[in-house]
């Protein structure tokens, strides 16, 4: 899975990603780059506070990962949102929102 790490620095949303051989994720990056509201950058600098993490992968892998998180009770510290991709049949998105940052996220995005 290839995460998209979302952080806010000086009231600016930055989305970090790593290169992927997966065509669906490559298309997502191309699409996000066309938006003037998104700043897409490579390689996450580990010293920034994460607002949320997004994944795009096959339904099967997303559901399996979701079930592991629920079993390990990560849903108590994260808001986990998953939904099917309208653009890519058989793929789903999953977002992990850090609960203590939710208010900040709503104010800035």
pLDDT tens figures, 14-32: 888 888 888 888 888 888 7
Contact by Cβ (8 Å): 78, 98 = yes
Q: How far is CA 81 from CA 11, 67, 95, in A?
A: 24, 12, 5
DSSP string across 5-47: EEEEETTEEEEEE---S-HHHHHHHHHHHT-TT-EEEES--TT
pLDDT in tens, 73-98: 888 888 888 888 888 889 888 787 76
What residue numbers bound the domain in which 57 lies? 4-108
Number of domains in the chain: 1
CA distance 101 to 53: 12
């Amino acid at each position: 899975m290839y995460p998209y790490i979302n952080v806010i620095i000086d009231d600016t949303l930055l989305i970090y990603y790593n290169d992927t051989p997966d065509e669906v994720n490559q298309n997502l990056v191309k699409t996000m780059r066309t938006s003037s509201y998104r700043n897409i950058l490579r390689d996450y600098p580990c010293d920034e506070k994460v607002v949320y993490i997004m994944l795009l992968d096959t339904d099967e892998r997303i559901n399996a990962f979701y079930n592991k998180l629920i079993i390990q009770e990560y849903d108590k510290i994260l808001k986990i949102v998953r939904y099917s991709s309208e653009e890519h049949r058989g793929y789903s998105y999953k977002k992990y929102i850090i609960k203590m940052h939710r208010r900040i996220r709503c104010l800035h995005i």
